[in-house]
Amino acid sequence: MSDLVTIARPYAKAAFEFAVEKDALDQWSQMLGFSAEVTKHHEIADLLDGSLTANKLSELFIAVCGDQLDEHGQNLLKVMADNGRLKALPDVFAEFLALRREHDKCIDVDVISASELSQQQQDDMTSKLAQRFDRKVKLNCSIDETLLGGVIIRAGDLVIDNSARGRLNRLSDALQS
């Protein structure tokens, strides 16, 4: 999989730069998202592994996508088909979205709590995290009933473990040292 991410990065960067230049980020997000979903369909996935020529494969792929792709999106698919890279489309889409979040100064934050957070708690957490990261924050809240209390916050590489279990583990480590 990491090979596909490495392959996807230059395609995503090129598509992103083109989309920014043409002020078409939403359109490109939709085109790449749709194309990525098409590659996941079992019949298309079998064709990607098959022995179709790049021309036939790109024609088929463009026919399946139909009006979802504009001329530039079709050109991207043709180039990727010529290079045997259509399998990397889901990774191209993921990389494109990461570039877009960075461009839009957005960050996804996963919040795991012992019980459901109220809207007020979510709003407070969003504003404090937005201030800390200097970005717009999108909270993805989930519940883990095995936590005794508190929350675990994950934003990129940063993990803030403010759960009761995490605090007890830190206390135990401090007492043992």
DSSP 8-state class, residue 13:
H
Task: State pTM to two decimals.
Answer: 0.69
CB 153 within 8 A of CB 139: no
Dist. CA 36–CA 50, nearest whole Å: 18
- The predicted pLDDT at position 2 comes to 59
For the stretch 101-120, pLDDT in tens is 888 888 889 999 989 999 99
Q: Do 130 and 85 share a domain, yes or no? A: no
The number of folded domains in the chain is: 2
CB 145 within 8 A of CB 112: no
Domain coverage including residue 16: 2-102
Q: Do 50 and 80 share a domain, yes or no? A: yes
Q: Do 159 and 83 share a domain, yes or no? A: no
Burial 142-164, CB ≥16 within 10 A → b, else e = eeeeebeeebbbebeeeeebebe
Q: Do 93 and 111 share a domain, yes or no? A: no
135 three-class SS: coil
> Helical H runs in 22-118?
25-40, 42-49, 54-65, 71-82, 89-103
- The predicted pLDDT at position 48 comes to 79
Mean pLDDT of all residues in 66-95: 91
Mean pLDDT of all residues in 143-167: 89
pLDDT band at 93 (very low <50, low <70, confident <90, very high): very high
For 66, phi and psi rounded to 5 degrees? 55, -130
Evaluate if residue 1 carries a pLDDT over 70: no
CATH number at residue 139: 3.30.1330.20
Mean pLDDT of all residues in 136-164: 90
For the stretch 2-61, pLDDT in tens is 577 888 999 999 999 999 999 999 999 999 999 999 888 888 878 877 777 888 888 888
Dist. CA 22–CA 77, nearest whole Å: 18
- The predicted pLDDT at position 165 comes to 84
Q: Do 17 and 85 share a domain, yes or no? A: yes
